[in-house]
């Protein structure tokens, strides 16, 4: 075939092939448009659980800064848009770090919520794990808080049973600077208390000329003295607190400035410290009615007007145990150690700040008797031992204590073998005290505190509303709620607390009312449970008290009575194997031999 003909045939073939390709491509494109897209299948490692991505996680004020807060590391509602420091123990994004370094020093720390971020001007360009002049110090940054200055949330920080932070109710760990699932006592460096330290708006229950200060990291006496001069302060007291692993200072303000202003100055100066007011607390007891010193009308098994004996079935309970040698620390006013009702039961005394000249007081003496009376009156745990810690003193008719006093008292109790700490008082929320209470719980010490006597409309009172304690309300002889008792979700149980007969100083007796004496009764019941099975943890004790309580009020656990009236006899008869991640199962106790009637 001639060459021109071959050429024409080749060109025709190529042209037809091109037309076919174009037609096929158009048909394929049309088919894709008409067909719905196939679902994407994501292969997942069998050991990796799925994680929802639709909603960013929200964190409370105590969440450790090393944990992510969600998309762009932002906390909803904190008032700072698009700019947040890189979080965690290391810089996660060098580019972000470079951007931050170009911001003015005050851009982050001095904004509307700069204090809530826990950043100081000199710290705004470094992650929370770094401190000026100290290098990298893990967990020394203050936990992030989305709250306004001075505000502390009553849920994760102060409410009982919140599921996001450690508490007696949920048996979990974390909070007060420790990440969720971590104990404070296991952290290599104790973090500073969370929050800014400023008192909430309207809070006035603190010393107007004093300040409590803790430093993060080591400080020489010269450093502390220089800081005091810089801010117009004088050291009024200082004490090393073992549970917090640091020295707690009480400073006196010399220049007349308000406490909040001094805290802001320290906060703004970039000092690696936690400053807060020296809060004040009051005893939760109404005026007592004395009955004199004559014990002739007191029968061997207790005064006939001691309705608590029958109400709590103490006669039968004491045939099982009387709380043998369980040490109960009583942080209160001065106890009359010569009171015959609990002679021999005071194992130690300690002055945590009430003063050497403070006389024996009806409140402290009455609470000690409600727990351990055994001569004239009958206490709930007559063979328990009392560690009498005097923190409430002063010249006024109503003794008061400060944050510094109570922290010293709790620390002494921890270091001297207390298994239970009784706190029959109430007041404001204190971040340093909250850490101390969490450490006590983590060391296996049960803290029992009064719900308060401020009435149904009162906000939560502390330490009763702290998640690491058992809060107790008061009932009368007919199981009616004490009219002055605080109410709220933090109330765990109730106990007799209206017109209760207890010892008084100088060998007398008195009738008292309030959540104070109800708290002492629950501490006594806890001592019975610990004497019966020493391996029980604070979580175990709370679970037993709640599960065996006599239900009162509206259906279920309620803000008036909590789980209900404590029932020592039923609690002692409950199985000793309590489900706890920290306590080993205990063998069933041997049957108790009949014992003589209570003294």
Check residue 555 and report its DSSP letter. Answer: S
Task: Point out the catalytic residue in the list 318, 363, 374, 521.
Answer: 363
User: Would you call 403 a catalytic residue per the annotation?
Assistant: no
Both structure tokens of 68: 């992510």
Residue 568 contacts residue 312 (beta carbons within 8 Å)? yes
Q: What is the DSSP string of 454-481?
A: S-TTSPP-BTTTSTTSEEEEEE-TTSPB
Both structure tokens of 209: 């000329």
Radius of gyration of the chain (CA): 32
Residue 301 contacts residue 235 (beta carbons within 8 Å)? no
Per-residue CA distances from 148 to 59, 73, 118, 188 (Å): 15, 19, 11, 29
Q: Give dist(CA 374, CA 426) in Å, integer.
A: 28
User: How many other CB atoms are there within 10 angstroms of residue 84's CB atom?
Assistant: 18
Q: Give dist(CA 61, CA 175) in Å, integer.
A: 9
Burial category of 247 from C-beta neighbours within 10 Å (exposed 0-12, middle 13-18, buried 19 and up):
middle
Task: Point out the catalytic residue in the list 145, 516, 583, 598.
Answer: 516
Element (H, E) at 333: strand 327-333
Query: Shortest CA distance to 86 belongs to which of 137, 119, 126?
Result: 126
Q: Which ranges of 183-276 does DSSP label H, i.e. alpha helix?
A: 221-230, 259-268
Q: Give dist(CA 58, CA 78) in Å, integer.
A: 12
Residue 519 contacts residue 590 (beta carbons within 8 Å)? no
Both structure tokens of 127: 């992650």
Q: Give dist(CA 546, CA 548) in Å, integer.
A: 6
Q: Give dist(CA 459, CA 550) in Å, integer.
A: 26
User: Would you call 341 a catalytic residue per the annotation?
Assistant: no
Both structure tokens of 256: 């007349």
Helix, strand and coil content of the chain, in percent to the nearest 5, comes to 25, 20, 55
Task: Point out the catalytic residue in the list 332, 361, 411, 430.
Answer: 332
Per-residue CA distances from 519 to 215, 242, 360, 450, 512 (Å): 34, 26, 20, 6, 13
Query: Shortest CA distance to 212 belongs to which of 142, 266, 154?
Result: 266
Q: Give dist(CA 588, CA 577) in Å, integer.
A: 8
Both structure tokens of 267: 């906060």
Q: Give dist(CA 479, CA 402) in Å, integer.
A: 34
Q: How far is residue 415 CA from its own chain's centroid?
A: 19
Check residue 507 and report its DSSP letter. Answer: G
Q: Give dist(CA 487, CA 491) in Å, integer.
A: 7
Our CA angle for 149, 283, 165, nearest 5°, is 45
The dihedrals phi and psi of 427, each to the nearest 5 degrees, come to: 180, -155
Q: How far is residue 247 CA from its own chain's centroid?
A: 20
Contacting residues for 336 by C-beta, under 8 A, at least 6 apart:
360, 364, 365, 503, 504, 505, 506
User: Would you call 516 a catalytic residue per the annotation?
Assistant: yes
Active site amino acids:
332, 363, 516
């Amino acid at each position: 075939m001639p060459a021109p003909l071959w050429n024409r045939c080749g060109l025709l073939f190529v042209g037809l092939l091109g037309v076919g390709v174009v037609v096929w491509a158009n048909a394929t494109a049309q088919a894709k448009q008409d067909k719905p897209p196939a679902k994407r299948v994501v292969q997942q490692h069998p050991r990796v659980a799925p994680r929802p991505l639709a909603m960013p996680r929200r964190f409370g004020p105590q969440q450790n800064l090393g944990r992510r807060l969600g998309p762009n590391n932002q906390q909803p509602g904190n008032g700072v848009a698009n700019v947040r420091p890189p979080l965690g123990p290391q810089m996660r994004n060098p580019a972000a770090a470079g951007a931050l370094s170009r911001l003015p020093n005050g851009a982050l720390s001095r904004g509307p919520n700069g204090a809530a971020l826990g950043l100081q001007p000199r710290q705004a360009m470094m992650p929370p794990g770094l401190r000026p002049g100290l290098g990298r110090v893990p967990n020394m940054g203050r936990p992030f808080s989305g709250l306004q200055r001075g505000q502390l949330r009553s849920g994760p920080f102060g409410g009982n049973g919140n599921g996001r932070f450690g508490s007696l109710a949920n048996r979990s760990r974390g909070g007060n600077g420790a990440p969720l699932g971590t104990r404070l006592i296991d952290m290599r460096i104790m973090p500073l208390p969370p929050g800014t330290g400023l008192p909430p708006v309207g809070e006035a229950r603190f010393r107007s000329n004093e300040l409590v200060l803790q430093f993060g990291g080591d400080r020489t006496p010269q450093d502390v003295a220089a800081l005091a001069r810089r801010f117009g302060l004088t050291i009024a007291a200082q004490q090393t607190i073992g549970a917090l692993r640091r020295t707690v200072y009480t400073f006196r303000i010399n220049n007349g400035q308000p406490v909040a202003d001094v805290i802001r100055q320290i906060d703004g100066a970039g000092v690696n410290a936690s400053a807060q007011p020296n809060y004040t607390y009051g005893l939760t007891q109404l005026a007592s009615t004395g009955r004199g010193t004559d014990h002739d009308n007191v029968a061997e098994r207790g005064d006939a007007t001691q309705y608590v004996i029958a109400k709590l079935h103490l006669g039968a309970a004491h045939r099982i145990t009387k709380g043998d040698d369980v040490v109960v620390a009583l942080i209160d006013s001065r106890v009359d150690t010569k009171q015959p009702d609990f002679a021999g039961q005071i194992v130690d005394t300690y002055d945590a700040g009430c003063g050497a000249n403070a006389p024996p007081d009806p409140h402290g003496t009455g609470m000690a008797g409600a727990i351990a009376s055994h001569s004239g009156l009958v206490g709930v745990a007559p063979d328990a031992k009392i560690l009498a810690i005097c923190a409430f003193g002063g010249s006024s008719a109503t003794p008061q204590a400060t944050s510094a006093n109570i922290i010293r008292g709790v620390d002494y109790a921890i270091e001297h073998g207390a298994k239970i700490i009784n706190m029959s008082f109430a007041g404001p929320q204190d971040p340093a005290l909250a850490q101390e209470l969490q450490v006590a719980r983590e060391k296996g010490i049960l803290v029992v505190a009064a719900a308060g006597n401020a009435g149904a409309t009162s906000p939560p009172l502390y330490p009763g509303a702290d998640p690491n304690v058992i809060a107790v309300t008061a009932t009368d002889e007919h199981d009616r709620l004490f009219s002055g008792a605080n109410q709220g979700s933090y109330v765990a149980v109730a106990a007799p607390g209206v017109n209760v007969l207890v010892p008084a100083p100088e060998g007398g007796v008195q009738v008292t009312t309030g959540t104070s004496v109800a708290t002492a009764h629950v501490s006594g019941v806890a001592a019975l449970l610990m004497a019966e099975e020493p391996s029980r943890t604070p979580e175990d004790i709370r679970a037993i008290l709640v599960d065996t309580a006599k239900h009162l009020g509206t259906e279920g656990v309620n803000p008036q009575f909590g789980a209900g009236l404590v029932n020592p006899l039923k609690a002692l008869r409950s199985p000793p194997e309590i489900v706890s991640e920290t306590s080993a199962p205990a063998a069933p106790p041997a049957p108790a031999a009949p014992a003589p009637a209570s003294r």
